[in-house]
Amino acid sequence: MLVVSRKENEWIRIEPIAGLDPKLTLRDVFADGPIIVKVMHVGRRVRLVIDAPPALKIWRDSPAAPGDSIAVAEPLGATATAGVLPPSPSP
């Protein structure tokens, strides 16, 4: 579970963990439950609580250049660790 505050133009990204077996189906990935996003507060910032299966990781950051440092939180209560933002896909 991750609690995060976001303001305009800030984002989160949910993606598979590194080394996830590519043969897994969506049913396998979500066997432990769905991604749940709960809005806790709306004001200048929106406070979200995000819970995701352990096969997914949650990146949080505002728009930045690839290679900038960000905080990375592994889901389901794991400790936040330092990370580097990978290049974002082009829209």
Q: pLDDT tens, 25-67?
A: 999 999 999 999 999 999 989 999 999 998 998 887 655 555 5
Whole-number CA gyration radius for the chain: 14
Burial class (CB in 10 A: 0-12, 13-18, 19+), 58: buried
Rounded CA gap, 49 and 61, in Å? 15
- What domains can you pick out in the chain, each with its CATH number? 2-84 (2.60.40.4380)
- What are the pLDDT digits (tens) for 4-18? 888 888 888 888 988
* Whole-model pTM over 0.75: no
